[in-house]
Homo-oligomer: A and B are copies of this chain.
Amino acid sequence: MHPTIPIAVVNPQRPGARAEVRCGLCSFNKLCLPQGLDEHDMGRLDQIIVRRRRVLRDESLYAMGQSFHSLYAVRLGHFKTAQVNRRGEQQITGFHMAGDLLGMEAIGSGQHSCAAVALEDSEVCEIPFARLQELVLQVPPLMQHFHRTMAREIQREQSVMLFLGNMRAEQRLALFLLSMGARYAARGYSPASFQLRMSREDIGGYLGLTIESVSRLLARFRKQGWISLDKREVSLLDLAGLERLSLGVAGEAEDGGVGGGEAGNQPDYAAPRAA
């Protein structure tokens, strides 16, 4: 039951396959920049996308401090974006998959304030920003969609702030798993079975936890039957339970039937700080 199974209409190119570069033929165009454009406008967008660029695992698409020229749409694969302190601590600001747009944070300053690193061999479409700005003036629906895309990024980050600021480790991890599932679902894959493309360290870096905490928490989720886990292959066995967990309703929650073990030794504290 673990393997990640596409359950719907997507048609992901194998890496290395000779793929068509036109947006109209990309299986993720509904999620991406051309969303809502007609054939003609999509063609104009095609014309400014200079090339398809491959990024190998652990390579960076752009580095922190690098000057900004283009946005990138993930075509295939996964990326993380990370910001590094002057002291070397790393905050993962997001994980990105097919259809996501990368680089927007750099528009303000002309410099990338975080690095984008491929979590596996990946491909992106490069969109020169200057040309996009011109095109957007001629294609109002594209501009509107671009605005929505940036705004959604703002909103996404606010929800990260919410869990970094307010939630316990357990809740954060449950929410993380659920949200990964939801994103895969939006791409036609199973919301409950998928492969974690990132290391435990990256998960920790994203959730504001140490790698040990992540590891322990995952082990606990597994023992309690919320999830099954084999290396990076994960299945969410009890979505409702995870949801309850993410809301902080720890404690009694039905035992899950598996393992039978040490449930009940969690205090049923109510809320982490709050009035």
Contact = CB atoms under 8 A, between A and B. Distances in A.
Interface string A160-194: 11101111000000000000000000000000000
B133 A144 contact: yes
Contacts of A253: none
Contact of A104 (B93, B151, B208, B273): B151
A152 interface: yes
A258 to B, nearest CB: 27
A201 to B, nearest CB: 8
A140 B133 CA distance: 9
A233 interface: no
Given A166-B208, A208-B164, A273-B210, A158 B104 contact: no
Contact of A91 (B104, B152, B162): B162
Given A133-B143, A165-B208, A155 B271 contact: no
Contacts of A158: 83, 91, 93, 105, 113-114, 157
Given A86-B247, A89-B271, A247-B86, A105 B164 contact: no
A19 interface: no
A265 interface: no
A224 to B, nearest CB: 21
A108 interface: yes
A274 interface: yes
A273 to B, nearest CB: 5
Nearest to A152: B108
A4 interface: no
Most buried by B among A165, A166, A272: A165
Given A87-B247, A89-B271, A155-B109, A147 B150 contact: yes
11 contacts: A83-B162, A91-B162, A133-B140, A133-B144, A150-B151, A164-B165, A164-B208, A165-B205, A165-B207, A166-B208, A210-B273
Q: Which 7 A-B pairs have the closest CB atoms?
A: A165-B208, A107-B151, A108-B151, A108-B152, A164-B164, A157-B157, A91-B162
Given A90-B274, A166-B208, 11 more contacts: A85-B162, A87-B274, A89-B274, A105-B158, A106-B151, A108-B155, A137-B143, A150-B150, A157-B160, A157-B161, A165-B208
